[in-house]
Structure 1
Amino acid sequence: METAMSDLFDEYPMLIFALESLLALFLLVFIVVWTSSGKKKAARAASNEQQTQRKSQ
């Protein structure tokens, strides 16, 4: 198995860069989605808090 990977990278030397760039792209998308969902949750919590304050007055 180890020699097969070595042969693959010897035959296609740019493959490792392509795999690394795909991993970086996936991480970027994951981080953006993660942070944007956190902002939505915080905004939802703030609006719910304002609604409960209005109802209690």
Structure 2
Amino acid sequence: MWLLLLEAAIALGILIFIVWWTMFSGRPQRPTRHKQPTKPEDTENSAS
């Protein structure tokens, strides 16, 4: 009986490891959502 529990625990550990590896390994970095503030001379009103 203990051998079945050990095998189930190892299988669960491997499953958790695979899920963890695929979720967080090699994830590309997301660009920031906030835009850089524009300079006042870049606006339409200051061009005239």
| Alignment match, 2:2 | 15
The CA RMSD over aligned residues, in Å, is 1.5
| Alignment match, 1:30 | 17
Question: TM-score w.r.t. structure 2 length?
Answer: 0.55
Q: Where does structure 1 differ by over 6 angstroms across 4 or more consecutive aligned residues?
A: none
Question: TM-score w.r.t. structure 1 length?
Answer: 0.47
Unaligned residue ranges in structure 1 (runs of 5+): 1-13, 49-57
> Could you list the per-position Cα deviations for residues 13-37 of structure 1 after superposition, in whole angstroms to 9, with x for gaps in the alignment?
x110000000000000000000000
Greater C-alpha radius of gyration: 2
Unaligned residue ranges in structure 2 (runs of 5+): 32-48
Instruction: Output the amino acid matched with 1:20.
Output: E
Q: Which has the higher helix share?
A: 1
